[in-house]
Structure 1
Amino acid sequence: MILGSRGSEVQTSRPAVGEAGQLAAVRTAVGDAAVGRWEALNHLVEMLLEVDAGGEEVGARSALALVAAGPSLVVRLDAHARRGPWYGPYREPAVRRVTERFSGATAGPVAMALASMHGDGRIRERAVAAILGRPCPELMPFLVLRTGDWVKPVRERARAGLALLLSDDPGVWLPAVLPMVLRLDARLRGGFAVTQVRAALLSSTPQVWRGLLGSGSRRERRLVFETGLAQGWLPSPDLVAYALTDRDVWIRSGAAEAACREAVWTRRPDVLRRLARSTRPEVRAVALTGLVRSGHDGEVAAHLDDDAPLVRAVARDAARRLGIDAREHYRNAVDIGDPALGAIAGLAEAGSAADAPLLRPLLTHQQARVRAQAVRSVRLLDAVVAAEFAALVRDPSPAVVREVTAALRPLANALPPGLPWDLLADARVELRRAGYRLLRGRDVAVVLRAALLVALDVDRRLAQRGKADVTRLTRDAVRTTWRRTPRPELRITRTEHADLSALAARAASTLGAETSQQLAGWLASARPGV
């Protein structure tokens, strides 16, 4: 049990704070414990015990609400309560303080919650009884945990209590238990709570499940929406509204599919047309499929130039049935001043390398998004010319630079040898990224030199990428265990050896002591040539 304390001298030296200050301290401890190790969890327990010592019911429930808001943190606290170090400042467990504070039904909510995670099953069972005697939403995550307890009496009492609460007032208790129930869904004994939640949802009023659908987390909203679809709770107007406006792509797609299926069955093409005008590609694709099944191929074929690949595919299928040559359509569509991006992408999907000349004038188009799409389409048509694309790599648009780099990577050996190094030294970060990508995959010495240079870059993300690559190369070179892949071998001249050694020394503080030491040993063991 490691509901530990930091020692008596630390506790007595902590200044007294008011209720607001205690809640602020608990909020900070919750944030630290969510990402910290057992020391941070210990500190959170100490802060909760201090709140409980104040005896204020409102303050205690507010502190518990901060903990209960994170189901993963509650699970970590529960596991933390039964394992930890037996040495150091945490040898004196706080279990004594928990059992002293916990006195059954008259205990405060914090004492109940902490006692429900006690290592002694009898204390946990008493804590469950106390929670059920004075239930509150802030204690529900701790009660749900005990429905999967390994001790049968604890588990049965918690399950019976949870079932009664949910059946008596699902509107109050469903929002409180649902986050933790979903967190425990995959556990061995977590199925009971999930079943009870589903049963409570089925017996809840529209006001309750609509409230959960409107304000819950993503997993909660998906469960409620899935249940609502299966039970037929959502009429067509609601499905259309969710398909057009919901923030979750899973719910949007499910609502669009259900709305379109009903529109096809009831012969409501107006609903399908409305969804086909959605800004969301997954909704448009489902709506156009519904129009196809309703026999409106002509309306669907009008979407040949859509921005979404799936929508274009549905439109090409409709065009084929109408006898429309999609490839010829795209050829004509790109041969104008400002072609649609979907038409450029569509030509790459329906055309061949013979159509690349139609796209080459767009490589210098005034609009950056057109240039980027043209570069991507030429690459997909396998018609990239290294010299031509090398001249485009310094495009003012970062998006175009990324596309040009992706197109040039397979042809890196055909580029001027100094181009990637020039890019790596450029003031623009997107060009430095491009230079580094063009150097990756080459000889070990080249990749190591580039990675060391990038590890010193002022851009944080690029520097992290370089550091990770240096670490990987170094560890692969000095490893002692057997692996299938061969060790990287440095084949360098004396000048290159000196250059790498100097770069390694400059990057030592960035790479860390262990990697720097391994890299120094690798370089020392290398035998440079003339």
Structure 2
Amino acid sequence: MALARILKQPTEASRNHLRQLKTALKPAGLFRAERDPGPHITALIEAGEPGVLRDLIAIALEADPQKRAGCVSAISAIAAPLLPDRLPEWDEWVRRSWSVLEEPGDVWGKLNKQVIEQLPLTMPDNIVLLGLCASHGNGYIREAAVVRLTQVQNGSELGFLILRANDWVSAIQMRVRTALMDRLTASYANTFVRHLILLDYLARAKRFDHGPLLNAIERFIRSAEARPALLTGLESPQYPIRRRCYELVYAAHGPAPEWLGEKAMADPDVVIRYRAYAQVLTANEALPMTVVRRAAKDSFPRIRGMAFDCVQKSVAARELIQGFLFDRSTELRQGAQRYWRDLKFGNPADTYRESLQQSSSEAVAQALSGLGETGQVADADLVLPFLRHRLAAVRRAAVRAICRLQPPHFLDIVTQTLLTDSPSVAAAAGGCLEKHVRHMNPSPLWDRAVIVGTIHSQICVIRIFRQLSKWERLEHLLRAILTSEAARTFAIAELGDWNSRFNRTFTTLTPAQHSTLRSLLVQARALLSSEMLTEIEFVLRAG
């Protein structure tokens, strides 16, 4: 999943603090008293907006070195969320951005390499400052920063060097590659593991072929001297690092040892678990049923699906097969129902009827779902009492089962649920009614929703209107805008959707519909934007 970008234009408050900080760092003069930059530095740190870094770095490097320490500490603190995995975002952003100070002269753009060459390397904050400068648009400045970074030997420089391995200047790139190869030592093993996400970025970079460098780093991480660091990476709080460490451990070990499989199958990350189960459950040798049972209880449907495939290929216990009849996944549950019949174990509906007496709410919910899929109309009498169950999950399953079984007057039952139950149950009822909207009168349904007065019920009814014909839907959306202040915003948004779908059908507008819609539009005129009003009037004229 892509991460949200954290480098954005700073707020006006932060810009003001940057301006005042720049003024405060200027030397005192005849008409300028010395000012304290501390409050502005503190305010910038508290705001924590990485978008100020470009100008903050320029202000710090322009200031007297004796007054620079506070700014350098602020730069390090504000840049912390970028390090090391978000450095590519910084690299891209800083080369495309402009000064936010709106003042003549861009100090960042005018930096020279002498300033970089004179930066001290004594404190971690200084190394962060130097590393950020290595993303400057000027190649001489980047090279000067890289030269200084190669002199650091404590691991804090590694992320910045990996980033510059993809530099478009070949001299910088070669210097960085040499520095990285020199760091393939046991003392750097943990640091390389912590930078696996950044190395993955480098592997995706297309500017140059980084294969030889990445292969060398991977061989080192898989080596015996780096093995303790690699195993430590299996405990990383960052799932991308854990995923990559598992891949490297698998590659280093060949067939996965039992301890590694056990650990991977217990990992909270679904990708790691899926790969571990896939290696075990797809093996040819006889499978221990304990692993299959464990996979059958996993939260990820595809892992449970692998377990079900194993069950079908082996002589599994009846109770293990029966467990899949109550799976949360509709696809797996229905597959188990077919397999149950193939094995001549009887009608799955009988199993569901018996299970409705159990105390487990989850089992009851899945039994209701299964009974709706396999039962008969008469089974609705068993389902109806569960519409009053204390748990919403059970009531949702019950309303879906009623919708499938379709007993007499089931639409009235589902409609009452939609109007009176909680939002999630009402949504399930709405999903059912959408399939049967042609058998309903929309006007009374909306009137009842307005009387009940719950916004989630009204929104569900408006969603049901999506299944109406083009002109019917417009009529009921306009009525909703006029009669429900609570759901008006949602109804107006639905009007936008209606307009975007206008040309998808060719239903002719009758004179009666035209008159009704014109009247409603006059009443709703004050509640609609001028753009929406113009659009609707146009389509009414087009008819």
TM-score (norm 2): 0.74
1:431 and 2:457 matched: yes
Cα drift, residue 356 of structure 1 = 3.3
Cα drift, residue 121 of structure 1 = 1.8
1:222 and 2:243 matched: yes
Q: Which residue of 2 aligns with 1:344?
A: 368
Q: Which residue of 2 aligns with 1:481?
A: none
Q: Which residue of 2 aligns with 1:236?
A: 258
Q: Which residue of 2 aligns with 1:250?
A: 271
Q: Which residue of 1 aligns with 2:167?
A: 149
Cα drift, residue 55 of structure 1 = 3.6
Cα offsets for 1:203-251 (capped at 9, x unmatched): 264431232221242222222222223433753244234324x221112
Q: Distance in 1 between matches of 2:217 and 2:78?
A: 22
| Residue 23 of structure 2, aligned match among 12, 36, 58 | 12
Cα drift, residue 150 of structure 1 = 1.6
Q: Which residue of 2 aligns with 1:511?
A: none
Q: Which residue of 2 aligns with 1:96?
A: 110
Q: Which residue of 2 aligns with 1:30?
A: 49
Q: Any residues of structure 2 matched to 1:111-130 within 5 Å, and which? A: 111-130=129-148
Cα offsets for 1:293-341 (capped at 9, x unmatched): 4532434323144233365456446535642134353464367587733
Q: Is the 8 A contact 2:352 2:371 kept in 1?
A: yes
Cα drift, residue 11 of structure 1 = 1.9
Q: Is the 8 A contact 1:320 1:326 kept in 2?
A: yes
Q: Which runs of 5+ in 2 are unaligned?
A: 1-8, 26-34
Q: Which residue of 1 aligns with 2:534?
A: 521
| Residue 414 of structure 1, aligned match among 433, 439, 452 | 439
Residues 426 and 196 of structure 1: CA distance in aligned 2, closer, same or farther (over 3 Å): farther
Which range moves more in the overlay, 172-181 or 183-192? 183-192
Q: Which residue of 1 aligns with 2:198?
A: 180
Which range moves more in the overlay, 150-159 or 331-340? 331-340
Cα drift, residue 362 of structure 1 = 0.9
Q: Which residue of 1 aligns with 2:80?
A: 66
Q: Which residue of 1 aligns with 2:3?
A: none
Cα offsets for 1:436-464 (capped at 9, x unmatched): 11223432533652674699637xxx94x
Residues 392 and 325 of structure 1: CA distance in aligned 2, closer, same or farther (over 3 Å): same
Q: Is the 8 A contact 1:131 1:143 kept in 2?
A: yes
Q: Distance in 2 between matches of 1:335 and 1:84?
A: 63
Residues 343 and 495 of structure 1: CA distance in aligned 2, closer, same or farther (over 3 Å): closer
| Residue 372 of structure 1, aligned match among 396, 401, 408 | 396
1:445 and 2:488 matched: no
Q: Distance in 1 between matches of 2:100 and 2:276?
A: 56
Q: Is the 8 A contact 2:383 2:402 kept in 1?
A: no
Which range moves more in the overlay, 466-475 or 111-120? 466-475
Residues 486 and 387 of structure 1: CA distance in aligned 2, closer, same or farther (over 3 Å): closer
Q: Which residue of 1 aligns with 2:348?
A: 327
SS at match of 2:234: helix
Q: Distance in 2 between matches of 1:181 and 1:450?
A: 57
Cα offsets for 1:167-190 (capped at 9, x unmatched): 453433224422322344432147
Q: Which residue of 2 aligns with 1:302?
A: 322
Q: Taking every aligned residue pair, what percent have the same amino acid on both sides? A: 19
Q: Is the 8 A contact 1:48 1:63 kept in 2?
A: no
Which range moves more in the overlay, 166-175 or 42-51? 42-51
Q: Any residues of structure 2 matched to 1:255-334 within 5 Å, and which? A: 255-260=276-281, 265=285, 268-276=288-296, 283-309=303-329, 312=333, 315-316=336-337, 319-320=340-341, 322-330=343-351, 332-333=353-354
Q: Distance in 2 between matches of 1:167 and 1:489?
A: 77
Q: Is the 8 A contact 2:19 2:101 kept in 1?
A: no
Q: Which residue of 1 aligns with 2:6?
A: none
Q: Distance in 2 between matches of 1:421 and 1:252?
A: 50
SS at match of 1:113: helix
Cα offsets for 1:482-516 (capped at 9, x unmatched): xx757999986567545435545346xxxxxxxx2
Residues 271 and 364 of structure 1: CA distance in aligned 2, closer, same or farther (over 3 Å): closer
Q: Which residue of 1 aligns with 2:189?
A: 171
Cα drift, residue 155 of structure 1 = 1.6
Paired AA for residue 71 in structure 1: D
Q: Distance in 2 between matches of 1:211 and 1:177?
A: 13
SS at match of 2:173: helix
Q: Which residue of 2 aligns with 1:81?
A: 94
Cα drift, residue 17 of structure 1 = 4.7
SS at match of 2:323: coil
Cα drift, residue 273 of structure 1 = 4.1
1:391 and 2:411 matched: no
| Residue 198 of structure 1, aligned match among 209, 218, 223 | 218
Q: Is the 8 A contact 2:161 2:176 kept in 1?
A: yes
Which range moves more in the overlay, 369-378 or 308-317? 308-317
Q: Which residue of 2 aligns with 1:357?
A: 378
Cα offsets for 1:386-436 (capped at 9, x unmatched): 344323322423332111110111222322322124325643232122121
Q: Is the 8 A contact 2:400 2:428 kept in 1?
A: yes
Paired AA for residue 68 in structure 1: L
Q: Distance in 2 between matches of 1:271 and 1:135?
A: 46
Q: Is the 8 A contact 2:112 2:141 kept in 1?
A: no
Paired AA for residue 80 in structure 2: L
Q: Which residue of 2 aligns with 1:212?
A: 233
Q: Distance in 2 between matches of 1:502 and 1:44?
A: 55
* Alignment RMSD: 4.4
Cα drift, residue 125 of structure 1 = 1.9
Which range moves more in the overlay, 187-196 or 370-379? 187-196
Q: Distance in 1 between matches of 2:461 and 2:22?
A: 56
Q: Which runs of 5+ in 1 are unaligned?
A: 34-39, 478-483, 508-515
Q: Which residue of 2 aligns with 1:513?
A: none
TM-score (norm 1): 0.76
